[in-house]
Amino acid sequence: MKFQKIPLFIFLLLALSCSENDDPNGDSNPENKFYRGMDLSFQSELESYNVDYKDANGNSVELLDFVESKGTNLIRLKLWHTPQDGENSLEDVKAYALKVKSKNMDFLLNFHYSDYWADPGTQNPPAAWQNMTLDQVKSAIYDYTKNVIAQLNAQNTLPEIIQIGNETDSGFLWDYGKVWNEFSNNWVNYADLVSEAIRAVRAIDTENKVSIMLHHSSVENAIFFFNELQVYNLNFDIIGLSYYPQFQIRDLNLVTSKLNELASTFDKDILMVEVAYPFTLQWNDNQTNYIGSLDQTLSEFSPTPQGQKAYLEWLITTIKNIPNNKGIGFCYWAPDWVAFNGNESTSTNGTSWENQCLFDFNLKALPATYVFNYN
């Protein structure tokens, strides 16, 4: 591409009016990048349904092109070991990672270290690891992680961020790395397993280009978790947090103070890696939604398209105001998980999320999609 010479006075005006965050793909200094992300882990499955996503004017769009044009600069993809029910396999992740990189967006890889969904209440090891000794599991997590990263690196899709486990409040790979209930004194084993995963990443990422993230499901309880880990000196870079108002505190001043306390206590970057908010309390298929009543929402933000947009604007401002520039962005969870099989979808092939998507029931982009260019 050839660039025309810009007169000096125009260049100076542009420089004064723009910031590094105006570029939806970030800037040349990753440390200053503010992530405006989306978790598109469902796309490997949804693409087979030929979902007709549309812009706000009702024009059909290709999803990845559209979200990139609106300012999205990070795509998160979940990975399961041996998927049981259509979740992402390594081949799925590799294929979609190529698409992400072709759009010059960054890539966040979320290891579940399970064959099915992992969260604070369920952290089952892959079936292939369940009869192993602790030492064997340590070897398995190292070998598996290294193989995944090696394959991604070989196709030039090395992630910018790698998440070691999903919402690991209670540890992971139960009971080997469980730190909950009767295993509350098991932090050393959890830390050892995390260390093996990190060591595997660094075996491939020898230049330390990848940032390592640990993920906790709640803003208010994360301080305890990371305090427990401090003694083990784990080599990670980012505190990843989920914030879903229906499950957590709804006092926004307390949310802000907890985020600020995390930043000042642990001197780590903070990424709000799972966030969402409803644009309606209605539904568009026959599966029960996670949010369906007003008492599950925030009083400050109505469950309307404008309320969803206002919530996201508040969230971005809050993250950007975390002390010492430690707030590095957010990732909207499943903005694309619409009623993909029509409004007669059942509990087995529907979605529990369509009223928290960033596309309405006519699959038109909602006002919140325009907040991704927020500066």
Residues with catalytic function = 167, 274
SS3 content of the chain, % helix, strand, coil (to 5): 40, 15, 45
Q: Report DSSP state, residue 239.
A: E
* Residue 268 Cα to chain centre, angstroms: 17
> In the beta sheet, which residues pair with residue 242?
274
- Largest Cα separation within the chain, whole Å, is 69
Which pair of structure tokens corresponds to residue 90?
């390594």
Looking at the DSSP bridge assignments, the partners of residue 171 are 178
CA distance 30 to 33: 5
Cβ neighbours for 197, distance < 8 A, ≥ 6 positions apart: 111, 113, 141, 142, 145, 164, 165
Rounded-to-integer distance, Cα 75 and Cα 332, Å: 9
Q: Kindly state the tokens that stand for 106.
A: 């960054």
